[in-house]
Amino acid sequence: MTHLVGKTPISILRLEEPVNMFCSHRESSMLAVALQDYTVVVVDIDIRSVVRKFLGHSGQVTTMDFSPDSRWLITASMDCTIRTWDIPSAQLIDCFQMESPCVSLSMSPTGALLATAHVDCLGLFLWSNKTLYSHISLRPILQQEDIPTMGLPIPLGEEAELPRDSDQEDTDMQYQSPAQISQQLVTLSTLPSSRWHNLLHLDTIKMRNKPKDAPKAPKAAPFFLPTIPSLELRFELGQEDKPGGQIRDRSSVDIHSFTVFGKLLNQSRETGNFAPAIDKFLSLGPSALDFEVNSLSMESGGSLELMLQYLKLVKFMLDSNNNFELAQSYLGLFLKTHGDTIASQPVLREYLKTLESSQLAGWFSLQRKLSVPDGLKKPTGKTSISFPTRIACDNIIRKPGGALIHLSRPTAMATPFNFALADYRRINANAATLSNYEVLTLLQELRGSQKRTNNQSQLATITYETIKYLQDTPCNLQTPEMIHKFLKALKPYKLTKAEKLLLLNNPPKTPLEIQLIVEESEERLSDEQVEELLQLVQSCELIPNEAEPE
């Protein structure tokens, strides 16, 4: 890319092969480049890097165009084929061959029609987009599949009917999309959010749904069969006699009464296959999930080995990049339920370190791809992804007076797991509002004590810009004694804390500024009190004295 006037390059992007042609889509800031080795690459202009690469043409690419929503890229080449590429999934979704190669094509602004021009053919040929009026399965087309040959569009009479390819439609209806396109991609589950979103708030939901009146016992209780002590419902129909006339001692029962999920999880210790346990877990509702996680503890019939195996199951889900949000929710529920047990068991604590590395790998992979300008809206500009905020427990600073200030690191991708790993300590912080002077002093101390690393470059930039801004405000010349004197003098005026803070951060110079700061100042303050406030600001020297011209 080069300036039109200065002819100096803004940036240089080197490709593997010489460029044959290119076309751009201005709204999505994408550039399609055809290379001389018959490949097509898609370049993101904002981040100036190659984001997609399409292979398949066996001849020189002659023309290409984006769909209006920038989801598809349509290319044609001298091999007489026209191919449609799905940019988000990087897959070939349509391909057909003709007798004459296409030399130019263009899609209508609505995406309903495609106009093409061909060698040795006069005029333009229009192709209709079938996805607008019928169900078409846009399944990926493999390179080894046969390419159908189609004739050019011809004018039809009023009574003529369009040919119907029933075999192709039946094949499309039978196709099922794979559960995971690639293990390199982070894949979300297809479960509704109600199955996992409120797992950490089940206690609150149960309290709200608790009936006001306690259940009443029936007047005449029916006959109930005795049951065997177990998590599964089994009736005790009679006592079995052992050989020799002795009755079997039912007290010698295995202390580990696993549930169905617990049994599948226990079997995975020998087989190493977590698929049956994951499938069983995905079929459970929120209450059943909460019960299964609680039953993993030794008090509920579980074992320490079973809890460790549960963490290995979560690690397997994170490493596979499948059901990504479910793994986060299941891990958060486990930490909330068994936090005290994990803190007291060294085996579980040590394994959490391994689990953290697997979890952060997925978040860092998303951060590298999405933390760019407008990167959350690529390639279609219609989807945005939000992530939770990481609370860094080691960045807690105690303020005089008992308040705690929580500072978050913007350089590390956030997960609920990071907060739970900090030795499982809960800190009850009091909310505090800081003045500009306190913020400036705090940031200056942090800048002097922190060591500059590559991972904290963004935090250092924010700190520098904030300090630079605050140094140009009146707080740069304020002192603790000056602030204490000013706040003590404001007591007779019965102002709120927010109003006092605004007067301190933005010292007024005119009565109009006081009216903007103090709510309903005309009723609460007289003209004499307004003048007294202005004189008080001057006497406390909250505003620097302007130099008089010579």
Average the pLDDT over 59-85 and give the result.
93
Residue 396 in contact with residue 411, Cβ under 8 Å?
A: no
Bridge partner residues of 52 (DSSP): 42
What residues contact residue 304 under an 8 Å CB cut-off, 6+ apart? 298, 345, 347, 348
CB 396 within 8 A of CB 427: yes
Nearest to 238 by CA among 251, 228, 246: 228
Give the model's pLDDT for residue 380. Answer: 40
- What pLDDT does 46 receive? 87
- What does the chain come to in residues? 550
DSSP state of 227: B
Q: Does the pLDDT of residue 121 top 90, yes or no?
A: no
**Residue in the structure block whose two tokens are 């899609």:** 107
Token pair, residue 191, equals 């479960």
Whether pLDDT at 168 is above 70? no
| pLDDT for res 488 | 87
Which pTM does this prediction carry?
0.41
Residue 246's Cα: distance from chain center in Å? 63
**Cis before residue 379, ω within 30 degrees of 0?**
yes
pLDDT in tens, 407-437: 333 333 334 344 333 333 333 334 467 888 8
- For residue 86, what is the enclosing H or E element? strand 81-86
* 32 three-class SS: strand
Name the β-bridge partners of 113. 128
The stretches of 240-320 forming alpha helices (DSSP H) are 260-271, 275-282, 286-294, 304-320
Q: What is the pLDDT of residue 95?
A: 92
Both tokens of 204, joined, read 């609150």
Burial label, 204 (beta-carbon count in 10 A; 0-12, 13-18, 19+): exposed
pLDDT tens for 526-544 read: 888 888 888 888 888 777 6
3-class DSSP state for residue 16?
A: coil
CB atoms near residue 17 (< 10 Å): 13
Q: Is the pLDDT of residue 460 over 80?
A: no
CB contact at 8 A, 70 and 85 = no
SS3 291: helix
Which tokens is 389 given? 């905020």
Cα–Cα–Cα angle for 370, 371, 372, rounded to 5 degrees:
95
Exposure of 431 by Cβ count < 10 A (0-12 exposed, 13-18 middle, 19+ buried)? Answer: exposed
- Measure the CA–CA gap between 246 and 274, rounded to whole angstroms: 42
Q: How far apart, in whole angstroms, are the C-alpha atoms of residue 226 and residue 238?
A: 10
Measured CA distances, 450 to 171, 327, 471 (Å): 62, 34, 20
**Position 55 confidence tier, pLDDT thresholds 50, 70, 90:** very high
Residue 105 and residue 116: Cα distance in Å, rounded?
A: 4
Rounded to an integer, the average pLDDT of 381-390 is 34
Tokens encoding 427: 């800190």
Whether residue 195 contacts residue 286, with contact meaning beta carbons closer than 8 Å, is answered with yes
Check residue 520 and give its pLDDT. 81
Q: How far apart are CA 510 and CA 531, in angstroms?
A: 9
Task: Choose from 6-20, 73-87, 210-224 the range with maximum mean pLDDT.
Answer: 73-87
Please spell the DSSP secondary structure of 335-390, one letter per residue: HHHSHHHHHH-HHHHHHHHHHHHHHHHHHHHHHHHHSSTTGGGTTTS------PPP
